A and B are shown apart, each in its own frame.
Chain A
């Protein structure tokens, strides 16, 4: 039987990841189906009751992939409970009667990139450590470029010439990731996209007074847009400048080096690290307040302990600094309309606040 590999959905990062896996394993890759309401339903049905939402989405992705013929599943890990997902998901899927091999990248309590090499070697005998790390670096570079493009879009969306053009150019960038591979191609791809984007924006001072909103919270809700009902796209479509710190570049690279900086920033409120992204969120909230942002949206799945710990601190910041923060919690109930209404109301409120401040 031919090996077919699958992995859980994680925002738009499935583009570089599927190229990476193809290069490493040299077999078929089953790209997880786009996350939908149905994914959540299947996942929630087979999950423990009050486990956090990413678990349910991941499990739904796995079941959908297994149904379309995958027989090797890959799960990463790290941070809070995420590191323990793999083992429980494997047990649940085995009990459901599927036949598959599970590659869990957790080793001794932390995410290990080297363990993945050892696992991949079992399936692709020709793989050697140099080519493996070459592919890792190229993929990281791809991801880094993607994040740069994303940040550019969030910053400049209010200047775009026709509605939605930047998001369309972003999509074409992803298609080119699949076609061309390597450092040089990545670099070319990045500059092509950036050039196209620059041609389609016009820095107009009348747009400078648009709202600025910062998105904080748990990483999966932020990165996997479907899990947070496309809040970010909704804001971008309304030409609101969005700041989002959490992306894969931040989680894999930047986060390791800036704990001290964050602690210095948040020293009035936090003494110790809160676990996972708690401290980051508090420090980033303070940072955007200093920069004069209009509002903050904090998102988390239900029962996400690190973010729940950050909530009382953010509430205190909201009171002290007089800035509106909208707290959103997502669970397996699919309620797109309700969330949109709340976002609309929040934006209206921010606009009114801004007008009031102007008039005074």
Chain B
């Protein structure tokens, strides 16, 4: 039995948890390759034209996986409570996949505060569907969840040491993890920055138990945007510039970014929107001029 994991959307936040969970259960899995032009093209054809870019990419990945494995992992994520909701796209991703691909076999878990679906129970359910007893699945989950938390802590500390020790100019990229880590969206930008000798700080690696996002926004109810605001509060005075990275047409970002730009007037911020057109010349020009501003070059 082979489980297919699409390398898109929540893969970039939960990949380590999924991989260790399946490793612990000794389930074979394959992961789709990094997003490339073919996957994007396929995703574009499969989805309605107004869908956001990460969702298009997601369908492309599923299309790649659908014949290569027995089950495709398609979780649904609503939120853990009333004020930590996910983007509305993830509420419906499961049903979109089911309706777009005929006869696709999926395994899913559903994190939904209204139904009281907790992450551990849902993973145990998923383990049962794969043919394991609940105590085996439970043990595997506990172990992998611990490792997952350690891994995230480790990543955060690594980034922290970068911020403290690096002599280079630092730029904070603020976005959702599925934008930052994707080859066709965020990686393009970090590669350009790194080749220009800039230290890249990523908001997706930040973890904290405190909620400081209320300094900027009081009525926010999306967990992913809250993570962005928290990391902004944490890093804003320790970096030289901030990039707000959005994929077109992200509903949450366009409101939250508007608020960030209006509230933080004395910081160097650039708002970059990426869409499915793959021309990098304009992007390079904008980033280079932003780097010039950071370096204090005036004409």
Contacts and interface: CB of A to CB of B under 8 A. Distances in A.
B211 interface: no
B50 A303 contact: yes
Contacts of B92: 272, 274-275, 278, 306, 309-310
A273 B110 CA distance: 11
Contacts, number: 122
Interface in B255-299: 255-259, 262-263, 273
A84 B88 contact: no
A80 B221 CA distance: 10
Nearest to B87: A305
A91 B256 CA distance: 11
A81 interface: yes
B217 A302 contact: no
Interface string B89-105: 10111111011100000
Nearest to A104: B219
A142 to B, nearest CB: 29
Dominant SS at the A interface?
mixed
A68 B9 CA distance: 47
A74 interface: no
A88 interface: yes
Interface stretch (A19-27, A43-51, A337-345): A43-51
Interface string A21-58: 00000000000000000000000000011111001000
B249 A303 contact: yes
A43 to B, nearest CB: 14
Interface string A69-82: 00000000100110
Contacts of B263: 91
A95 B78 CA distance: 34
A265 to B, nearest CB: 14
A313 B95 contact: yes
B208 interface: no
Contacts of A84: 219-221, 252, 255-256
Contact of B88 (A270, A276, A315): A276
A50 B254 contact: yes
Contacts of B94: 271-272
Interface string A105-143: 011111000000000000000000000000000000000
A272 B95 contact: yes
B144 interface: no
B296 to A, nearest CB: 27
Contacts of B82: 108-110
Most chain A beta carbons < 10 A, residue from B76, B220, B251: B251
A81 B218 CA distance: 15
Most chain A beta carbons < 10 A, residue from B250, B252, B254: B254
A287 interface: no
B83 interface: yes
Nearest to B90: A275
Contacts of A48: 254-255, 257-258
Interface in A260-292: 269-276, 278
Given A304-B251, A305-B87, 15 more contacts: A77-B219, A80-B88, A81-B255, A83-B221, A91-B258, A91-B259, A92-B258, A109-B219, A110-B82, A273-B91, A274-B95, A305-B88, A308-B51, A309-B96, A329-B50
Interface of A: 48-52, 55, 77, 80-81, 83-88, 91-92, 95, 104, 106-110, 269-276, 278, 302-306, 308-313, 315-316, 329
12 contacts: A50-B248, A84-B221, A85-B255, A88-B259, A107-B219, A109-B83, A109-B85, A272-B94, A276-B88, A278-B91, A308-B50, A313-B99
